[in-house]
Amino acid sequence: MKITDDQNELFDIVDENDQVIGRERRGEAHQDKKLIHRSVSILVFNDRGELYLQKRSATKDTDPLKWTISCSGHVNFGDDYEITAHRELKEELGIDAEITFADKFLCRAPHETEMVAIFSAKVEPCRAGFNLNKEEISEGKFFTRKELNDVLKKGEIDLSFMGRKVLERVRWL
């Protein structure tokens, strides 16, 4: 299967206090839980308080075809969380939105460890829609908290590991 994520992109490697201690390629960072690298998670809400979730494309290197939060990505070597959040909104959803920092936490996944910064954004109710990057996202939908919890209980959607952790962190699950 073809993977569209660049396995050679460079990430800052950080310690548990989020201090840079080195750098490593994506492919290595995703296979070694000791290599803590930075990521962002952006929760995009509409005027009704519904949260947009995306289904990852089949060509993603982690959790292909699983549902996750609105937008996410890794902080490239030398970048910061806020720059990355804006870049990812543009790359994945085709939007530029004001973002608000919400939280930051260390997330230990089965094969990797990330320092995750969570941001939120609100989109205008009259938006015609997002311009989804098909290499990143296969589809997306707005959910109320109740709708999301109902479809999860019924097994109608499968959440990515990191998506679940972020949604638990912000108490949406």
Strands 113-122 and 99-108: antiparallel
Most distant CA atoms of the chain, gap in Å: 45
What pLDDT score does 125 carry?
Answer: 61
Q: Report pLDDT for 60.
A: 87
Q: Where are the domains of the chain?
A: 10-169
Query: Which residue ranges in the chain fall short of pLDDT 70?
Result: 1-3, 5, 125-128
Per-residue confidence (pLDDT) for residue 6, from 0 to 100: 73
Strand duo 113-122 + 36-45: pairing: parallel
CA distance 14 to 69: 23
pLDDT tens profile 140-155: 999 999 999 999 999 9
Number of other residues whose CB lies within 10 A of the CB of residue 110: 7
pLDDT for 1 equals 59
CATH of 10-169 given 3.10.20.30, 3.90.79.10, 3.40.190.10, 1.20.1060.10: 3.90.79.10
Predicted confidence at residue 5, as pLDDT, reads 67
| DSSP secondary structure string for all residues of the chain | ----S-TT-EEEEE-TT--EEEEEEHHHHTT-TTSEEEEEEEEEE-TTSPEEEEEEPTT-SSSTT-EE-SEEEEPBTT--HHHHHHHHIIIII-----EEEEEEEEEE-SS-EEEEEEEEEE--TT-------TTTEEEEEEE-HHHHHHHHHTTSS-B-HHHHHHHHHTT--
Predicted pLDDT at 29: 92
Q: What's the pLDDT score for residue 62?
A: 86
Residue 3's pLDDT is what? 67
- At 21-49, the pLDDT tens digits run 999 999 899 889 999 999 999 999 999 99
